[in-house]
Amino acid sequence: MRVLGIETSCDETGVAIYDTGKGLLGHALFSQVDLHAEYGGVVPELASRDHVRKLLPLVREVMRRTDTHPRDLDGIAYTAGPGLVGALMVGACAGRALAYGWGLPAVAVHHMEGHLLAPMLEERPPSFPFVALLVSGGHTQLVDVRGLGDYRLMGESLDDAAGEAFDKAAKMLDLDYPGGPRLAALAEKGDPERFTFPRPMTDRPGLDFSFSGLKTYTLTTVRQYAQADGLPDEQTCADIAAAFQEAVVDTLVIKCRRAIRVSGHKTLVVAGGVSANKLLRTRLESRLREEGAGVYYPRHEFCTDNGAMIAYAGCLRLQAGERSGLAVEVRPRWPMMELDGSLS
């Protein structure tokens, strides 16, 4: 089976073609980072318009590079949520229209399921069951994954997602958009032992997260050491970034170790934009090894939003017999636990 995947949930336009016999044939991604940098964050209307401009040229490019014709395809998968409603509508309408015009089945894919399954695209993929840490700008969740669509929520953020906290802390330090990767880069120049930031909700049972208090603690520290221009000196900013990153990473690692023990699984999958964080990967591999568990990630280019994960997830669902109707429906808010697990 060969499937065209389309991803337009936020600020990246992704297209890919996945073949069950040959693997990932090709993919292309256009990031809108430069477009939104001027505003310090994603502007939904601008994101939607840019998807309109870039999506079909990317589809043509990927099909040309992979020597794929419409007759070679067996289906089209598109992200239907969660995400920005206007951005989702661009990909959903295009995917549904192409499927109708080419006489192909189409399937709506859950964005976070795409992330969860992205490590399956690697040479050494994980196998079910496993615990998944989905950690991005919009989500921080621990999920017990038994099979395709068979997901049980173990814990989630009660306020800011980890990626969102990274971005907000970056703004406190006057770092450019996108803030999370820039804060991580600044943290490499800092002394992580100068400040000790709290590890929220790790002193009590459970697997939920909360990063709003850590965000407030960071702001208080920035103001405490601020100079005439409103910011601490360069080294102090780096030290604050390092302390913040240490706190977030430690919190995630502690909760992941708990989740492994509670579930009884010996595999952890980490996916989403924050999964590219180098310190998080290093700590998880070290601490999970003590639990006798292995850790799996997608390659760095598939940590952020991309069409490859949608093509793969869509392929699995099409193989399992799932089809979407002719009506174009998107869900800006869509709990992943509502997905049909009877297909696995």
In whole angstroms, give the CA distance from residue 118 to residue 259: 20
**Phi and psi at residue 231, to the nearest 5°:** -120, 155
Q: How far is CA 69 from CA 62, 63, 94, 106, in A?
A: 10, 7, 17, 16
Any known ligand binding at 203? no
Any known ligand binding at 81? no
Distance of CA 77 to the CA centre of its chain: 18
Any known ligand binding at 180? yes
Closest CA to 304 of 146, 114, 128: 114
Any known ligand binding at 117? no
Residues written for the chain? 344
Q: Do 147 and 344 meet the contact criterion of CB atoms below 8 Å apart?
A: yes
Task: Give buried/exposed letters for 192-217 (b at 16+ CB in 10 A, else e).
Answer: beebebebbbeeeeebbbbbeebbeb
Could you give the residue ranges of the DSSP H alpha helices within 23-144?
33-37, 44-65, 85-102, 111-117
Any known ligand binding at 136? yes
Any known ligand binding at 21? no
Task: Give buried/exposed letters for 37-70 (b at 16+ CB in 10 A, else e).
Answer: eeeeebbeebbbebbbebbeebbeebbeebebee
CB count in 10 Å sphere of residue 103: 9
Any known ligand binding at 270? no
Any known ligand binding at 305? yes
Tokens of 1: 């089976």
Tally helices (H) and strands (E) across the chain: 10, 10
Any known ligand binding at 75? no
> From the annotation, which residues make up the binding site for substrate?
134-138, 167, 180, 277
> From the annotation, which residues make up the binding site for Fe cation?
111, 115, 305
> From the annotation, which residues make up the binding site?
111, 115, 134-138, 167, 180, 277, 305
